Structure 1
């Protein structure tokens, strides 16, 4: 019984914005749980959309929502959906080809905090990243907390899950991509050319990019530090580097 409950809860999305984006994306939704008596504002809009799509809607108590919630910030609504589908790396490259753009891919080497992954996905979607690649081990997957923190971005940006990051990097190199490693000891990212087809590697919250992955990158890019603290949160660092790529591509390097 315990196992069933755990699997059940893994396939849920929480919070008004995240649930709304799931409905808009067309993803299958099995059931919508809403706080009893709370049928106003954005909840009313969500219920109308869910009803139109034939989704089962169930009014429940706040206690029930609190018990089910993984994020502890459900905002009176939880959607039970089919498991999120990961894509293949080839699918991400196909997105770039379809848009007739040089590939811009994010590789995450060991992000274990779901809030960081959600924030990274949100920024990546806004920055026009074609897809994100995460490892199957030593990494958080696309769970409810990631979906909530991404504010719906998880529904739009392709995410591939691979067994071996280094092997994936080699495949991307054969496709013509350069691999840039986010590293505090690297060249200042303002002086790093990141305009071509690129895969940007961002490491874990504590240890950064692992040694083997770093050794297989083509070059490194660092964020200059002028204060007393020597490192940034992983999602903040990823965001700064992604938008440096945007700046160089859209507005020129200098």
Structure 2
């Protein structure tokens, strides 16, 4: 009985601490984003106690609901979801419906804000590099893992070269006039958004290229060694039967 009480107490305490951390992280992200965009979205934070749930931000009427599970929580989740909220609210300032912006752009902005202090590029699976994440404009792919990994990696690439706040403000302003995200991005990147994507892909492919060169070099060395061995052997035109017969005669 006593052990059960202790377990229950520890469980309640851990849930309480997780909830406090989530609230603090959400408020911190809110304040940081407010300083950037000067909008004040009205939101409700819902802390989920269900297992295997995922964080998300939902817009309803003029408010937002931020749902974050306490199980497996880490601070990047609060930053990511609050960035979604602020992007939707900032877009409203320009009379832009959030659904008019492609899904991958929403995720790029949220991921970029999440990795502002983390510039570590991780090795991606080949299919995550080669797939075009900008194709997902109105739906998520079946394989979300590679999609999120690619978007986050591209966000880190951009964070090393461009200013997050300037990017969002410029592209949203341009989109409100052009109603075309491609034109807005081309204008920001000096007509080279596709080139930026290509540069990122090439950087991500460097480890694979080095590995491929290593494999080719090893094959070349092995074949060269075998070739030198073959060249060191004298050619004997006799058949095996003739060689055996000669050995028998000598014996």
> Which has the higher Rg, Structure 1 or Structure 2?
2
TM-score, L = length of structure 2:
0.24
Query: Higher relative contact order by CA 8 Å / sep ≥ 6: 1 or 2?
Result: 1
The structure with more helix, counted as a fraction of residues: 2
The structure with more strand, counted as a fraction of residues: 1
TM-score, L = length of structure 1:
0.24
